[in-house]
Structure 1
Amino acid sequence: MIKTILFDFSRVILLPKDENYLGGLNDLHKKLKSALGYSLIDYLYLNEPLLKKLKNFKDKFNLCIFTTGTIQNEKPLREILDKIFLDIFTVSNIGPKTDPNSYLKIAGIINAPPEEILFIDDQLKNTKAAKEAGLQTIHFQSNDQLFKDLDLLDDGI
């Protein structure tokens, strides 16, 4: 039974306003941050439908984030995230998302067996590594697809 849901941040919870932008969101943020008048919300937005759904999941699952960068630490984002997620893990503290041992390390930190953790990421190479570590996984492609999968999970409680 799933007890913890572990989310990727960029392109799952945080999205680019320009749907054609294919680069990394942390890279974009770092590049623009020093520009005069830069505002994060001019280029990026939180996946509000997903966050709304997750607020309803807080009482049923432990919700955490595993991300490659640091953009989630920006004050306007962090204030929102801290109300929903128990913990935010980064590759700088845990290890690469492509290494199954990183997921085992997170499982140890949160004191949960890997099979009780669901990992959601938009990168197949990351979900593959999580699966190798024993986690259940969902490859994020859209909110519609994810909500169907999460509803099945919620119905199984």
Structure 2
Amino acid sequence: MIKAIITDFSHVLLFARDKTYQGSINDLYAEKVTEHNFDFWSVFALNETLFDLYKAVGADIPVYIFTGRTVQNDPAILSKLQEAFADIFSAEDMNLSKKETSTYKMLCETIDLPPGSVLYIDDKQAHVDIAKEAGLQAFQHISNGVTIQKLDKLGIRN
């Protein structure tokens, strides 16, 4: 039984408004944040469908964000995320790597749950595979439809 969800942030919940942009969301943020009159929402778009779903699921089980770096700390989005998620973890802030099984085990220890009861969702299959090696249940976010279907099959979605 799933007792918590840990989701990636970039390319799952946050995207560049420029649909052709395929690079790192954090790199784009680092480039744009220094520009005069930077407007977060003119550069980035929140996946409102998945955000609302996670917020609803969060009424029953905790949902956490685990991201590589720190774009989520921008004041334009941070308070919205804090209202919807049990906690936000950054690999960079925790001095961890998403490429290590020990990272996912440590996250489970931090939220005080055994790995097998935690579902991890990421857009990168390599991270999904590493989370599975650490004992978590995991799948790759390909689209909202696929993610919602997989959550339904697991009996998680409201």
Q: Which TM bucket (shorter chain)?
A: over 0.9
Tell me the secondary structure at the aligned position of residue 119 of structure 2.
strand
Counterparts of 1:70-81 in structure 2, within 5 Å, are 70-81=70-81
Tell whether the 8 Å contact from 2:53 to 2:157 is kept in structure 1 after alignment: no
The CA distance in 2 between the partners of 1:137 and 1:154, in whole Å, is 14
CA RMSD for the aligned pairs? 1.5
Letter in 2 for 1:27: D
TM-score (norm 1): 0.95
Aligned residues of 2:6 and 2:63 also touching (Cα < 8 A): yes
Alpha-carbon spacing, 1:57–1:43, altered in 2? closer, same or farther (3 Å): same
Question: Aligned residue for 1:97?
Answer: 98
| 1:51-94 alpha-carbon deviations (Å, 9 max, x no partner) | 11122101221100110111101112111101111111111205
Native 8 Å contact 1:118 1:137 kept in 2: yes
Q: Which amino acid aligns with 2:136?
A: L
**Per-residue displacement from partner, 1:74-125 (whole Å, max 9, x unpaired)?**
1121111011111111112051111010000011111000000000000011
Counting matched residue pairs gives: 157
Aligned to 1:19: 19
CA contact (8 A) 2:4 2:118 kept: yes
- The aligned residue for residue 38 of structure 1 is 38
Q: Share of identical aligned residues, percent?
A: 33
1:28-65: CA deviation from partner (whole Å, max 9, x where unpaired): 01111111122111111111011111221012211001
Secondary structure in 2 aligned to 1:154? Answer: coil
Rounded Cα–Cα distance in structure 1 between residues aligned with 2:154 and 2:110: 23
Match of 1:107 in 2: 108
SS in 1 for 2:11: coil
State the 1:155 CA deviation: 5.8
Measure the CA separation in 1 of the matches of 2:140 and 2:95.
21
How many angstroms apart in 2 are the aligned matches of 1:90 and 1:155?
25
* Cα distance change of structure 1 residues 67 and 155 upon mapping to structure 2, 3 Å threshold: closer
Moved beyond 6 Å, runs of 4+: none
Match of 2:84 in 1: 84
Q: Which runs of 5+ in 1 are unaligned?
A: none
Instruction: Check 1:103–1:94 CA distance in 2 against 1; reply closer, same or farther (3 A cut).
Output: farther
Amino acid at match of 1:112: L
